Structure 1
């Protein structure tokens, strides 16, 4: 039972940190925690860095934003990763199929 509670606490902490990272990105404050903003830090790492600043530097906690399926500003660890993302094939779901004879 204690292990389940620990997993819950860790899961909530990860979710909260990720939401803080997304809020930092949307608020345009990313450079305060990531001066090399093109290096591809995850929202989790950005959020953890922001939370360290909340404790150490007196920054304000931001209102958490809901996670969405669309990344507001994707970042990539390398030019190769960006090229792979830009050149991938985009698919959409087929909702209905009609055959006309």
Structure 2
């Protein structure tokens, strides 16, 4: 969860290719108590949090692998405190078709 929180912060700082991961974090995971607080959860709360995480985990993994492939191909590059995005418009689905990503 801490990594997704950092990705959300990066998205808010202008790394728009992180949009889906950032929005997934803020709309679904941010409200979850942090892992350090797990001793304070009751069993029902813990199980419900686990269900939420399990339901979004495949989508997060898929998006992470999709973005990683763009980095590996050199289509997204981070240089200093900025990035370059050389993808085709249709490959930028997190910017122009985010609704479909959330429905999948």
- TM > 0.5 between the two? no
Whose strand fraction is larger, Structure 1's or Structure 2's?
2
* Larger Rg over CA atoms: 1
Whose helix fraction is larger, Structure 1's or Structure 2's?
2
Q: TM-score, normalised by structure 2?
A: 0.30
Greater RCO, 1 or 2 (C-alpha within 8 Å, sep 6+):
1
